[in-house]
Amino acid sequence: MTGKQSQRQDQYNRGKQLFIDTAKHLFKTQGYDKTKVSDIVNASGRNVSTLYHYFPAGKKDIVKILLITDIKEEFDKLAALMAQESDRSLIDALHLFYHQFVAIFYHNWYLMSIMLYYKDDFEAEVTPITREGTDHMRKLLAAFLKKRVDNRELYITDCNVAAKLFFAPGMEAIIVNFSEPEKDVFDTTEIDQLIAIWQRETIFFDQSK
């Protein structure tokens, strides 16, 4: 790329990002359905043809980009966290995974609610991102649990099922939180009970030896 080309590319990216940031702010504050393309255009101080140049399908295209940048990146960060060895205690590590997993959905609820409500518009292209992200997290958690089972720190018959069970209360808390008055979505009471019963058998195993 020549200097001029790269300057043009920067300008192009900045213009695109301005629309994305503006749309994100409007989706969050006034809702997706009440945000018109003209609102995004006006709040950005650009013109409508520029917006459609960047986003041929308008609002929908912006949501898709937000999903990739804001959600996929968070999933990748958590994946890295779960894959790496650490000197955290078992409980601390599980709490951290749970917290980060819930946080992804919590901080991007405005996007999730759009996907839930406008399922038909996003099913084909967008839900694979959240689906694969969630499945990948579960697989990594299952692998993490399996190691602890092998170490006899936990007693779990099927780590894949256990991983699904582990994230379910968080997912439920998120949904409930956003349909009702604020509650503590990061509360770990349920997963603490789960971890305790996963640990329990080991004790009896050891006692029966």
Q: Long-range pairs for 165-168 at CB < 8 Å and ≥24 separation?
A: 165/194, 166/94, 166/98, 166/141, 166/191, 166/194, 167/98, 167/101, 167/134, 167/137, 167/138, 167/141
Residues that bind its own copies (rule: CB under 8 A) add up to a total of 40
CB of 175 to its own copies, least distance (A): 5
Nearer to its own copies, 5 or 157 (CB): 157
Nearer to its own copies, 16 or 164 (CB): 164
Minimal CA–CA distance to 98: which of 144, 150, 155, 156? Answer: 144
Minimal CA–CA distance to 24: which of 43, 45, 52? Answer: 43
The pattern of x and - marking residues 75 through 94 that bind its own copies according to CB under 8 A reads: --------------------
- Asked whether the beta carbons of 82 and 137 are under 8 A apart, the reply is yes
- Cα 203 from Cα 138, distance rounded (Å): 26
- Cα 198 from Cα 122, distance rounded (Å): 38
Site for its own copies in 5-64 (CB under 8 A): 33
Site for its own copies in 113-142 (CB under 8 A): 113, 115-117, 119, 123, 127, 130-131
Nearer to its own copies, 5 or 207 (CB): 207
The pattern of x and - marking residues 142 through 161 that bind its own copies according to CB under 8 A reads: ---------------xx--x
- Residues near its own copies, by CB under 8 A: 33, 112-113, 115-117, 119, 123, 127, 130-131, 157-158, 161-162, 164-165, 167-169, 171-172, 175-176, 178-181, 189-190, 193-194, 196-198, 200-201, 204, 207-208
